[in-house]
Structure 1
């Protein structure tokens, strides 16, 4: 089976876009991720899947993290944290319980490390939720390699 075709196949599953932030001695680090899901309600657990080739791998190891779920109008933030830096940061930080988070995100989920698992060319980080908040608005969606909209009634 062809890896590229498998990736194209998986692109047919629409996802939301998140920025995962974590504190380091050098400051707050963040990366764009759409491989994120809720795992358990009791205890409250979420999963973030991280490519083994990224800097984020070492930053998340045994570290708190915050999942910032983006709103539909926050595409520039997603691109910024995906490595397409802009002259002026398209967001503001705000202090959360476990570190800095993206101000005005659709939702925030603050986590402490719970377990880490081998996920092939990725590492699966499970975090135990210690705090969360959500607000109104529409999510930023991703479908077949492009930003998309969620249509609601």
Structure 2
């Protein structure tokens, strides 16, 4: 049953959801010529520990198409020192940032990231203007550090308590 309230505006929704702090990742995919492409995403989540399964949400674009075609994607969890990567992969490339990619068996990820995952797509779920790519984790690695987070529509970092 639909509510009798007026629909939530895009502007109001964006303002509200911006108050939910999230990590920032770069999702990568490789084209047929072996070049790595990526997109900055804050809609990444763990779905299951057994088997290790994750999900990202992407709108249609180059990275989306490459993932759909290849069935693989990489995820790099950015540290607070990697804000330039978040900016680089969120819009037109200006050539000021030269990404440090680490080659994997199926896809490259960003060196220096807090965590890196290579993921094989098991399901694609289209929802409105995005696709949820659910994937089995084929490889993961992790290092210590402070994450880059997205809060209030800006890059931020966390202050660890205790």
TM-score interval for Structure 1 and Structure 2 normalised by the shorter chain? over 0.9
Larger Rg: 2
Gaps of 5+ in 1: none
Q: Is this contact kept in 1: 2:80–2:148, CA < 8 A?
A: yes
Alpha-carbon distance in 2 for matches of 1:44, 1:8: 33
State whether structure 2 residue 65 is matched by structure 1 residue 72: no
State the partner residue of 1:58. 65
Alpha-carbon distance in 1 for matches of 2:83, 2:41: 13
State whether structure 2 residue 12 is matched by structure 1 residue 5: yes
How far does residue 92 in structure 1 lie from its aligned partner after superposition? 1.0
Task: Give the root-mean-square deviation of aligned CA atoms.
Answer: 1.3
State the partner residue of 1:113. 121
List aligned pairs for 1:75-86, cutoff 5 A.
Answer: 75-86=83-94
List aligned pairs for 1:4-153, cutoff 5 A.
Answer: 4-26=11-33, 27-52=35-60, 54-62=61-69, 63-153=71-161
Q: Is this contact kept in 2: 1:80–1:90, CA < 8 A?
A: no
Alpha-carbon distance in 1 for matches of 2:26, 2:116: 10
State the partner residue of 2:4. none
TM-score calculated relative to the size of structure 2: 0.88
1:13-54 deviations in Å (ceiling 9; x for gaps): 0001100111111311111000110011122110100113x2
Query: 3-state SS of the aligned residue for 1:67?
Result: strand
TM-score calculated relative to the size of structure 1: 0.93
